[in-house]
Chains A and B, each alone.
Chain A
Amino acid sequence: MDEPAIRTSGLTKHYGATRALVNLDLEVGRGEVVGCLGANGAGKTTLIRLLLGLLIPTGGRAEIFGLDSQRQTVEAHRRLAYVAGEANLWPNLTGEETLHLLGRVQGRVDEPYRAELIERFELDPTKKVRALSKGNRQKLALVAALMVRPELLILDEPTSGLDPLMEQAFRHCVGEARERGQSVLLSSHILSEVEVLCDRIGILRDGVLVEIGTMAQMRHLSALIVQVTFDDRVPDLSGVAGVSMVEVEGRTLTCQVKGPVEPLLQVLAGAGVHELLSREPSLEELFLSHYGPGSPREASGDAH
């Protein structure tokens, strides 16, 4: 039986009294691209570092292609490549020297693809790392990971510092990886990137995976966005079942509706509706519903 690319069960990490990751169960299938969203400190990087065996879990386990990430680290690493949000490379090595070294440590490199990537990312391999800008260092780290053609790519905010053109090049590479059947775990703050690239998206909050699914599933389960323009007075919707995040601007009201829309329609029926629009939430709205005003985080007083 084919093991999934990533499987965690009850994965937990505490730093003293701080609970960075709590009882996380996650599965990334082969050939699947999964995005991971969350505010700063939500536990995304902790999750990735646990998967890579750089951190020791407080509880639970993580597997890469069925290999225990703590006990079979080297075997697991043969099948993956990782890009960190900040490329900490050796400043006195040139780009070419860095790629040569990392390729030798990895044990395999697709040389023609490496040359193609260098061209695609417009990288000057003769420059020393210390002379490269943050974005160019990030490009070097991306080439080092992609040139291996690994079965699994683990990417932690891989496009930080990249210009929009290079971000496009990155998206193209991830698309290619998916077509080749490679699996990807992508942590990013760029929601459009996640929305475009990922088959499924997980949202982490305070170390807990609060939601995971495809965009369609998440939209189905979450609130509908309703915008109503009234002829005259805007009615009070505060007590209506399922309605939240009400915002009023002039005669226009915007709110979210979770569950049946009937209670709202009953109130609107006699309120002189001039125009009514409804749409499914964007990823940004889905994300903010877990973090923004009125979210469970805000309600529990966790928001800063």
Chain B
Amino acid sequence: MTLTDAPADARRARATSSTAVYRTTGRRAIVSGAGWGLIFGVYVAAQALGYATSYKTAASRRLLASEFGSNPGISALVGPAHHINTVAGFTTWKCLAVLAVTGAVWGILLGTKLLRGEEDAGRWELLLTGPTTRRGAAVQAVGALASGFATLLVVTSVLVVLIGRSPKVEFGAGAAGYFALASVSGALMFLAVGALASQLASTRRQAAGYAAALLGACYAVRMVADSGLGLGWLLWLTPLGWVEQLRPFTRPDPVALVPIVLFSLAAALASVWLAGRRDVGASLLRDRSSAKARLVLLSGPVGLALRQMRSTLLAWAGGITAYGLVLGSIAKTGGKIFTSSPTLRLFFSRLGVTGAQAYLGFALLIMAMALGFVAVGQVAAARTEESTGRLENLLVRPLGRVPWLHERSVIAVSVLVVGGLLAGLSTWLGAAIEHAGVGFTSMIDAGLNVVPPALVLLGVGILVFGLWPRVAVKVTYAVLLWSLFVELIGGAVSLNHWVLDTSTLHQMAPAPSEPVDWTSAGAMVAIAVAATLVGYHRFARRDLAGE
């Protein structure tokens, strides 16, 4: 190095240290965006190519459109079906709502992780001692999220354009790009929501909870708007409705981009502004520093776990109940699809199943998915106790490791069973109000039917927790996402049955449209119990592991 290089090096060093937040978070956001862009692209390819292969003739496509095209029950679940007698229309219908919600969940997790999560871990404080301010650091973190989003958009766009070049599909490049933009716009808005929630809450978990509650509300409003009750104007009140209004491939309406961009910008700018107006580590929503002791639950690890998870469990219970009521109340209308064609009508009448039951058999798959997330949440909660060192406070006292893990498992199983029962009960109630002709017992059975796949996930989680605790949550999430992926694309492309069998959801009978397969359910419970026991055994014989 020569002497004349020294000022340039110093400038470079200053620039490097002043962008430290961006450099530590940006790379993670870009890697994550690229990975999810790949998943989005594969999902779109599976739907588009699957449709082109399964519905080769104009007649078969017309039949599909006549059965699904105007069913409000189906619209409520996945959005309205426009022009589904074309590859483009079908792809939009199958992908847009799913990718908007998936992207939103990704946005919430990434946004809260890179802002509040870093702050929780104390790394934020360390970086703020460098040449930056609280607001400057927030700008860099939001910039990192923008990089992640740009990567997601680019990867998704490239893949959709490539898929569009297939002679079976034939999407124009511009239309494909617009479709990709529409697909990832949910991610854009909820990345910003994640950043904003990170300023309002005092922990990452709380921030993710706030953002998830907003997403749940947005989904509910979108469901109501699309359920054929004459409330279509509600679509303009929910971010998921704006995504739907973009209508790529069918009747594009780029005006809907305006609220999407404004909403995202407003949330991102607000998060930067608020970051400069609060103390590091503090939250903007008032969080009492003192409280009267409430000792009722605090007599042991079970009570402690319930106390810790109380808000999350109540939110899940509320969400499942609300969703069940809506599903039940639209079951009668939704069921018409299954009785509109003479063949299907005959098929279901032979099984002794009404249209509403057939519809609910399909729709309750979403309940099974929701319970899957609850199961992963339980594994994550147990692992957090260990990784934060809090578990040591219990295990250095007269409490064995296996009893502790067993008690956590019993809580998790109880939560899942109650969740399944709530799903069945609330759906039955919604259906009963609308006189949909769905029996109480069959709906309770159908509610319990969605529990075993979640138990398998829980068992896998406990097994990996016992073996390799640091990856337990990631592996359990991966199994859940793989199962969702297989279920979602399994309907579009004919997958090998070995691949289908790897999905925990695939082993479940679609009750109440079919009777519960108790043998299969029993086998899933047996697998879950076996995995759990191995997990206990390994947990008792390994070192406690921090982060």
A binds B: yes
Q: Which residue of A lies closest to B294 (CB)?
A: A97
**Segment at the A interface, from B48-56, B207-215, B391-399, B453-461:** B391-399
Contact B541 A56 (CB under 8 A): yes
CB distance from A136 to the nearest CB of B (A): 12
Bound form: Cα–Cα A105–B399 in Å = 7
Residues of A within 8 A of B390 (CB): 88-90
Q: Say if the beta carbon of A91 comes within 8 Å of chain B.
A: yes
* Residues in B neighbouring A54, C-beta threshold 8 A: 392, 395-396, 543-544
Which bucket holds chain A's interface residue count? 35 or more
A84 part of interface (Cβ distance < 8 Å): yes
The contact string, 1 if C-beta is below 8 Å from chain B, for chain A 61-90, is 000000000000111011011101010111
* B300 proximal to A (CB < 8 A): yes
Q: In residues 269-297 of chain B, which contact A (Cβ within 8 Å)?
A: 287-295
Whether B398 lies near A77 (C-beta < 8 A) is yes
Cβ proximity bits A249-277 to B, threshold 8 Å, 1 near / 0 not:
00000000000000000000000000000
| Closest Cβ neighbor of A88 among chain B residues | B389
Q: Type the 1/0 row for A207-241, where 1 means its CB is closer than 8 Å to any CB of B.
A: 00000000000000000000000000000000000
**Cα distance A100–B291 in the bound complex, in angstroms:** 15
B393: contacting residue among A80, A89, A128, CB under 8 A: A89
Query: Which one of A55, A75, A77, A86 lies within 8 Å of B396 (CB-CB)?
Result: A77
Task: Give every chain A residue within 8 A of B2 (Cβ-Cβ).
Answer: none
Proximity string of chain B (293-310) to chain A, C-beta cutoff 8 Å, 1 when within and 0 when not: 111001111001001100
- Measured in the bound complex, the distance between the Cα atoms of B509 and A275 in whole Å is 96
A residues near B293, Cβ cutoff 8 Å: 94, 96-97, 100, 125-126
Query: In the assembled complex, which residues on chain A have CB atoms less than 8 Å from the CB atom of B203?
Result: 91
Give the residue name and chain of the B residue nearest to A141 (CB). Answer: B393
* Contact present for B389 and A84 (CB under 8 Å): yes
CB pair A128 B396 closer than 8 Å:
no
Residue in A53, A96, A97 whose Cβ sees the most chain B Cβ within 10 Å: A97
Contact A107-B398, Cβ < 8 Å, known A100-B298, A126-B291, A131-B290 = yes
For residue B494, CB closer than 8 A to chain A, the reply is: no
Q: Of all chain B residues, which has the CB nearest A144? A: B393
A104 touches B392 (CB 8 A): no
Min C-beta distance of A3 to chain B, whole Å:
18
Expressed in whole angstroms, the Cα–Cα distance for A56 and B540 within the complex equals 9
Partner of B397, one of A89, A105, A130: A105
**Partner pick for A101 among B304, B388, B544, CB 8 A cutoff:** B304
Residue of B nearest to A91 (CB): B203
A131 to B202 Cα, complex, angstroms: 11
Q: How far is the CA of A102 from the CA of B299 in the complex (A)?
A: 9
Nearest-neighbor residue (CB-CB) of A75 within chain B: B398
Q: Are the CB atoms of A88 and B392 closer together than 8 Å?
A: yes
A77-B397 in contact (CB<8A): yes
Residues of chain A touching chain B, judged by Cβ–Cβ distance below 8 Å, are 49, 52-56, 73-75, 77-78, 80-82, 84, 86, 88-94, 96-97, 100-102, 104-107, 124-128, 130-131, 144
Of the A-B pairs whose beta carbons lie under 8 Å apart in the complex, a sample of 14, sorted by A's number, is: A53-B395, A55-B544, A56-B542, A56-B543, A74-B399, A82-B396, A84-B392, A91-B203, A94-B290, A101-B299, A101-B304, A105-B397, A130-B289, A131-B290
Q: When A and B form their complex, which 8 residue pairs have the shortest distance between CB atoms, in order from nearest? A: A88-B389, A131-B289, A96-B293, A82-B396, A101-B298, A126-B290, A78-B398, A105-B397
